[in-house]
Structure 1
Amino acid sequence: MIVSLACILIPGILYSVFMMLGEGRDGSKAVPLPLQTPSETVTHVKPVFSEPEYVGKSACVDCHQKEVEAWTGSHHDLAMQEVNQATVLGDFDQSEFEKDGEVTRFSKQGEVYYVTTVGPGGTAEKYRVAYVYGVFPLQQYLLELPGGRLQALSVSWDSRPQQEGGQRWFHLYPDQKIHHTEALHWSGMQQNWNFTCAECHSTNLDKNYDAQSDRYDTRWSELDVSCEACHGPASNHVEWAQQQDNSATELTSLNKGLTHVFNERQGVHWKSNAQTYNPQRSEPRRTETEIQTCAACHSRRAQLFEDDRKGQALMQSYLPSNLEPGLYHVDGQIDDEVYVYGSFLQSKMYAEGVTCSDCHNPHSLELKVSGNGVCLQCHNAEKFESVSHHFHQQDEPGSQCVDCHMPSKLFMQVDARRDHSFRIPRPDLSEQLGTPNACNQCHSDKSASWATDRINAWFPGPKPGHQQFAHALQAARLGAGDAEQQLVALLQRPDQPAIARATAAQSLGPYLSSQSLPELANALSDPDPLVRAGAVQAFDGLPAELRWQSLSPLLTDDIRVVRTLAASQLADISAQHISADQFSLLQSVVQEYEQAQKHNADTPASRVNLGNLYGSQSKWAAAQGEYQAAIKLDPGWIPAYINLADMHRIRGTDDEGKKILSDGIERNPDSAALYYSLGLLQIRLQDKDKALKSLAEAVQLSPENERYSYVYIVALMEMGQSAQARLVLQQSLKLNPNAANLRSLKNQLP
């Protein structure tokens, strides 16, 4: 049976962009909030504490001198600082840096530091440095722009010693020529401090973005990452400490007034298994308050709600990213900067109960023991710190545990970050899947096959390691014929990391059938909220009755991000199809979802999400306003054009949609997605000659995209251009040899 365009073009394209992940900069002129000063004496005991408030580091010093001393001078302490001679590390003595014909000049007048560089208008302007940002191995500088914005300059100072290549100005994106109108320009949205950086570089942040005026009034209580950034607002703890009788039962039962209690390691020790020499925790870790507190900043995630640090679980405010292309390789190794948490969740160490402070001093942020010593706190030195284990000369490269089990990758040009998934080197996967491996990272002159042979010689019948999901995720990314079966098999393995199973659940969306749908439905009740969240997102596009039946129980999920994700999938359900009580519940959770998007209304992703929400409710004017607001915030945000055009498709006004896509292409001529969407629209308008040109352009710009190729080939077949269709198919199969859709076309061509 010949596949017809009618089968694949009617639904249109609707992008869901619930998350905007990644580190960008979004700023405003920050004004410190006044600190709350605790009363000097409290002579009575309250049975219940009041709502906790932030009191500032000064309230902690007297009782916690050792911790404050360790914190002082740490990267948390120096995360962001006022500008003065002591804090500015860069050379501002009339120095210059040139890139792509543009010169950036650095100067100072007394204690005021200036940068002269090309600004948002395309001409060189002189800007005052508002704050220094970070300290090592690089330091950035925040410049003020109108609207309360603080922007991170892309020309940064390499603060490493000169003998290590430091003490110089450098550009974070040396291989990219960035126009002043682009979001990646230092003055653009992606370098905006207020949205992307501020939450994790200061304490008690209030972003205070006003969508109507497009202005920030960002405030904080402390400029850096201080005590309460991790321990939560401490007013009740200070009150407890000042009680004359602080042993009162009602107070101790309230955790001494603390919002976070980091007691996972209390009374716990590690012992070595007599047979395997592997370490074992003396008792299971039953909570992960510490890990989730660290993950609020040390993760690649979307922040959907304000996080006031009052002890709530991570996913009450944040949605961590899964093992997505561009962020992670298919085996889970880091590809982009993902900030540790998503890697650590994959590790056997996490599964066995290790916490962050088993290895790191949480106040100084340094390793608790240097070198291999940090691993040998738990692992048997006789077995693991020996040539018979690592097969390298002692104290030479390859003899350190991290060399093989925590390979590093360079980010921001000078900042090496280690992978925290603690995996066994798998050069055999490099051969099969093209993933990196620790062996060839050092032995770059050798092949992955050579490394595989060495591993097999040293460890006959080597174990695959804890992470056993690479082939399933590869199948999903390639659109392989057995992708559905492999994803279901991974989803059914509770021994595999939850983040991998969540990725499998989310990836099942395009492959759902009567066989896999029950397994996806089972994942909606998984004990891990990350898996539930992944499963919810796979229901996008399914019939309303099926979505309601499967997802409505999650409207009462105790994790806010999970229930709001469910609400976003059910927002189009009308009152006529469910009971009054059910509709009331749905509307209340939809409002939570709407609140999450409005919290991030300074990003085009959230404005598109709001547009999608209002469109699902047939609030067309509101939807159009949000899509247009997204384009205004970032003319390069492609989903805004596509979803706005799709709204016109739904309303039967494709001519308007055509104008929108054409405008998007004019602004973004290298966008394959825009050409593809325009090609679909032109087919609906029966302008097939122009449609072929648009689809051809999409394939040329993104030849690896199997969907674009498939639709273009089918269009060529229907237009009687079999020879060209066969040529495109051959080229596409070279790039996507496992793509089931493409292979299905081979026998249909004459």
Structure 2
Amino acid sequence: MPGRKQEIPATPPAYVGAQSCAHCHQEQHRAWKGSHHDLAMQHAGGMSVLGDFNSARYRYHDVTTTFFQRDGGYYVNSDGPDGRMQDFEIKFTFGVYPMQQYLVEMPGGRMQALGVAWDSRPRAEGGQKWFHLYPKEKVDHNDELHWTKLSQNWNYMCAECHSTNLKKNYDLASNRFSTTWSEINVSCEACHGPASRHVEWANRIPGAESIAQKGLAVLLDARKSVTWNFSPAANTATRSETSPPGKEIEMCARCHSRRSTLTEDYRHGRPLMDTHLPALLTEYLYYPDGQVNEEDYEYGSFIQSKMFHKGVTCSDCHDPHTQKLRAPGNETCLQCHRAETFASAEHHHHPMESKGAVCAGCHMPTTNFMVIHARHDHSIRIPRPDLSVRLGTPNACTQCHADKEAAWADAQIKDWYGPAWAPGWHFGETLHEAIQGMPQAGPDLAAVTLSPQVPDIARATAASLLANYLEPTTGVVLPKLLANPSPMVRHSALAIVEQLPAERRWVLAGTLLSDSVRAVRIEAGRVLAAAQQGAPTPALEFALESAVGDYVSAQLESAEHPQSHVNLGLLYQDMGNPDKAERAYLQAIALDPAYVAAHVNLADLYRVLNKDAKAEETLVKARTAIGENAAVEHALGLLYVRTRQMPNALASLALAARLLPDNARYVYVYAVALNSNGDASRAIEILEAVNVTHPYDRDVLIALVSFHKSAGNMQAAMEFAGKLANIDPRYGSEDQILQQSPLP
């Protein structure tokens, strides 16, 4: 009977396709048609291909790529995996605006994205032309960025987020993909989940609201019955419901985040970290203050924002079906921010019709990725040129006023807002300290990890950096971090646990083997694997076995990538299984003979096993396969030191330091070798140079004190002892350091 609750059969839900949804949801289906999700991936044809395939040519260094049509198909003539020019058929288009890429089918079920893409913007905006994704580099067929390499492989890098119900289906034994999808594009069920039960519900009892979830895997109802209301005295609206709207945001984050995949078994409605591991605010991906540096796909930025913490969801600003803003320009922001206060020259101090009056221009500045794709920073922040002055971070003011310095912008803002401008401390200041290796960063990081005013992603980043600072405060902070409600924080806190003795690891982290979130469980398993013999109870021993098994499965989820096998090799070494570790490293090398980490870790395994001859053989082979590489030469240099081949050691260590002069460790080790070989003056010279760029590196300072003292340069030794005392009082006074000054 209508309105009566009935049971839905317990069979697993299946994907039924967008057309099934369109029968009832015509308005939503019409809105979705033609959207970026709808056009995310298409079969190459006259209606989908936007690029010029009329014998168009594009020259990139020594390679001229030609785009043409033949027998009704679309083709490209370009350099293949061996560098020879070949014809390749275009099978699929990828994306639509502001650029379109093209996929070529290669042996082993691989789809590869060409390095030359089509700029689909209007000609007036600089578009309607071919361009290369790496214009400032010379990428040839030997380069890891070449279009035929794993870094440009659709199956591994892109597929999950451009199609619905994507199954990668990689087989390690045959090194082949058999990738499948339910629908080629990002369709209804990519977000709402498999809908067969929902269709059964709709057909069985039309309009009934009493059946739980309406047969859907997840109800994306964060906006239902929610309003944003202005109180009379407020300039910003508040959400009528305070419950966190994480369900929708974590669903979007599956694709709109910089993350790795833990399992292909995605379950709609489950926490993101059950299936994916989001990146932290790590150096190179983000600036210290959390502004995006490399592409982060929005999530890592947005969860830093004040808007996120006040309950704003993606669909508050974006229509989920068209993906367009809910209102044009500033009108989207003015849904919640009073126009008379914020859309005024008194607020933004720019002419009303200028770019400076656009909310997003100041609060969501853009960065171009993939050359032409301008993406807004979704941390939605107040510009902080004062941080730019101190930390070297970007700010919206000087991104627009490119001829001005950050200090000018800082002074301008202070002049505009006067005493009311008091931005205060920012977590980026502490992350910057830690990245620079400043000794005071330890206690400051500990404070950041516990601050409820700091976003979880920044607290998690601080926890991961705190692993380098085992301060006395860590013992107080660590239990709180491991019990934090945020799985991101709990996961990162395990990096600190990893630095502790085995028995302490079990006391602190044993319970996380049964954490409700997969990413935390498997990281606990990895960290405790080295302490497996010390499991205090059979129950914890069983939990460890299960978590380690899940960690292995997570690595094999990306079995096509050599790093997964390097990770397994490290795990097996920790577990005292050198044979399995060796096989894992060799598997990584088989997948990519030029993969540096596999060679270096295999050689280090042989070192541990007292097999220096095999270690040398491994590194010499790596040199042949890879060419000049700093990590390989550094490892070879250390091996030659151990085997007392000092001329070879000095040559390799010198090359490593020359190839990566900004790596203080490589320079330091080379200097120690020089000093041991009787060339103290050269050792001092290169250490003083690296001290300029790495003033907080303790090993460098200790070596400078020792080498100068041994050479009789007491004034210089005292100078560097003073620097060490200033940055880290734990070493004592200048005189104490000078008296101790052990040789490195």
1:375 paired to 2:336: no
Q: Deviations over 1:446-505 (max 9, x none)?
A: 111111100111122465659821111111111112121221121121210100010011
1:197 paired to 2:174: no
Show the counterpart of 2:395.
437
Show the counterpart of 1:471.
429
- Stretch moving more, 547-556 or 204-213: 547-556
Aligned CA distance change for structure 1 residues 463 and 670 (closer, same or farther; 3 Å): farther
Show the counterpart of 1:283.
241
Show the counterpart of 1:404.
362
Show the counterpart of 2:714.
none
2:414/2:421 contact within 8 Å kept: no
CA–CA distance in 1 between the matches of 2:129 and 2:594? 32
2:90/2:103 contact within 8 Å kept: yes
Quote how far apart the aligned CAs of 1:372 are.
Answer: 0.4
1:177 paired to 2:138: yes
- Stretch moving more, 237-246 or 221-230: 237-246
Q: Deviations over 1:556-579 (max 9, x none)?
A: 000001100110112233446543
Show the counterpart of 1:607.
565
Aligned CA distance change for structure 1 residues 467 and 555 (closer, same or farther; 3 Å): farther
Show the counterpart of 2:34.
73
Show the counterpart of 2:262.
304
Aligned CA distance change for structure 1 residues 515 and 669 (closer, same or farther; 3 Å): farther
Quote how far apart the aligned CAs of 1:395 are.
Answer: 1.3
CA–CA distance in 1 between the matches of 2:650 and 2:504? 36
1:333 paired to 2:291: yes
Q: Which of 299, 302, 306 is 1:344 aligned to?
A: 302
Query: Is the partner of 2:90 in helix, strand or coil?
Result: strand
2:443/2:471 contact within 8 Å kept: no
Q: TM-score normalized by structure 1?
A: 0.91
Aligned CA distance change for structure 1 residues 494 and 481 (closer, same or farther; 3 Å): same
CA–CA distance in 2 between the matches of 1:593 and 1:102? 43
Q: TM-score normalized by structure 2?
A: 0.91
- Stretch moving more, 145-154 or 158-167: 158-167
Quote how far apart the aligned CAs of 1:747 are.
Answer: 2.9
Show the counterpart of 2:61.
100
Show the counterpart of 1:34.
none
1:128 paired to 2:94: no
CA–CA distance in 2 between the matches of 1:433 and 1:375? 29
Q: Which of 538, 541, 547 is 1:589 aligned to?
A: 547
Quote how far apart the aligned CAs of 1:49 are.
Answer: 4.1
Amino acid across the alignment from 2:385:
P
Query: Is the partner of 2:404 in helix, strand or coil?
Result: coil
Show the counterpart of 1:447.
405
CA–CA distance in 2 between the matches of 1:273 and 1:458? 27
1:707 paired to 2:707: no
1:327/1:338 contact within 8 Å kept: yes
1:82 paired to 2:82: no
Quote how far apart the aligned CAs of 1:433 are.
Answer: 1.2
1:472/1:487 contact within 8 Å kept: yes
Aligned CA distance change for structure 1 residues 112 and 330 (closer, same or farther; 3 Å): same
Show the counterpart of 1:62.
23
Q: Which of 150, 162, 180 is 2:111 aligned to?
A: 150
Aligned CA distance change for structure 1 residues 678 and 273 (closer, same or farther; 3 Å): farther
Task: Tell me which protein shows more helix as a share of its residues.
Answer: 2
Q: Deviations over 1:37-62 (max 9, x none)?
A: xxxx9x99435543211111111001
Amino acid across the alignment from 1:111:
G
1:209 paired to 2:183: no
Q: Deviations over 1:355-382 (max 9, x none)?
A: 0001000000000001100000000101
2:562/2:588 contact within 8 Å kept: yes
Q: Which of 727, 730, 733 is 2:685 aligned to?
A: 727
CA–CA distance in 1 between the matches of 2:340 and 2:243? 27
Give the alignment of 1:308-319 within 5 angstroms. Answer: 308-319=266-277
Quote how far apart the aligned CAs of 1:272 are.
Answer: 3.1
Show the counterpart of 2:654.
696
Query: Is the partner of 1:207 in helix, strand or coil?
Result: coil
1:604/1:640 contact within 8 Å kept: yes
Give the alignment of 1:371-520 within 5 angstroms. Answer: 371-461=329-419, 463=421, 468-520=426-478
Aligned CA distance change for structure 1 residues 738 and 271 (closer, same or farther; 3 Å): farther
Quote how far apart the aligned CAs of 1:647 are.
Answer: 1.0
Amino acid across the alignment from 2:107:
P
Query: Is the partner of 1:84 in helix, strand or coil?
Result: coil
Quote how far apart the aligned CAs of 1:265 are.
Answer: 1.9
CA–CA distance in 2 between the matches of 1:652 and 1:674? 19
Q: Which of 204, 213, 226 is 1:268 aligned to?
A: 226
CA–CA distance in 2 between the matches of 1:177 and 1:732? 29
Query: Is the partner of 1:225 in helix, strand or coil?
Result: coil
CA–CA distance in 2 between the matches of 1:323 and 1:615? 29
Quote how far apart the aligned CAs of 1:183 are.
Answer: 2.3
1:107/1:113 contact within 8 Å kept: yes
Aligned CA distance change for structure 1 residues 93 and 248 (closer, same or farther; 3 Å): closer
Q: Which of 509, 512, 531 is 2:489 aligned to?
A: 531
Show the counterpart of 1:365.
323
Q: Deviations over 1:339-359 (max 9, x none)?
A: 000000111111111100010
CA–CA distance in 2 between the matches of 1:745 and 1:278? 57
Q: Deviations over 1:406-438 (max 9, x none)?
A: 010011111000100011111111111111110
Amino acid across the alignment from 1:394:
M
Amino acid across the alignment from 1:726:
I
Aligned CA distance change for structure 1 residues 556 and 329 (closer, same or farther; 3 Å): same
Aligned CA distance change for structure 1 residues 669 and 483 (closer, same or farther; 3 Å): farther
Query: Is the partner of 1:60 in helix, strand or coil?
Result: helix
Query: Is the partner of 1:460 in helix, strand or coil?
Result: helix
Query: Is the partner of 2:221 in helix, strand or coil?
Result: coil
Amino acid across the alignment from 2:24:
C
- Stretch moving more, 720-729 or 168-177: 720-729
2:114/2:147 contact within 8 Å kept: yes
Aligned CA distance change for structure 1 residues 431 and 462 (closer, same or farther; 3 Å): farther
Question: Which residues of structure 2 form unaligned runs of 5+?
Answer: 710-744
Amino acid across the alignment from 1:240:
W
CA–CA distance in 2 between the matches of 1:287 and 1:747? 56
Identical-residue share of aligned pairs (%): 44
Aligned CA distance change for structure 1 residues 640 and 521 (closer, same or farther; 3 Å): farther
Show the counterpart of 2:597.
639
Q: Which of 227, 243, 256 is 2:188 aligned to?
A: 227
Quote how far apart the aligned CAs of 1:397 are.
Answer: 1.5
Amino acid across the alignment from 1:629:
Q
Superposition CA RMSD, Å: 2.1
Q: Deviations over 1:121-154 (max 9, x none)?
A: 2211111111011111111100010000000001
Question: Which residues of structure 1 form unaligned runs of 5+?
Answer: 1-40
Query: Is the partner of 1:642 in helix, strand or coil?
Result: helix
CA–CA distance in 1 between the matches of 2:249 and 2:133? 30
CA–CA distance in 2 between the matches of 1:546 and 1:429? 39
Aligned CA distance change for structure 1 residues 49 and 580 (closer, same or farther; 3 Å): closer
Q: Deviations over 1:516-547 (max 9, x none)?
A: 24323321111000111111133335332222
CA–CA distance in 1 between the matches of 2:425 and 2:177? 43
Amino acid across the alignment from 1:154:
G
Aligned CA distance change for structure 1 residues 57 and 516 (closer, same or farther; 3 Å): same
Show the counterpart of 2:506.
548
Show the counterpart of 1:21.
none
Runs of 4+ that moved beyond 4 A: 273-276, 462-467
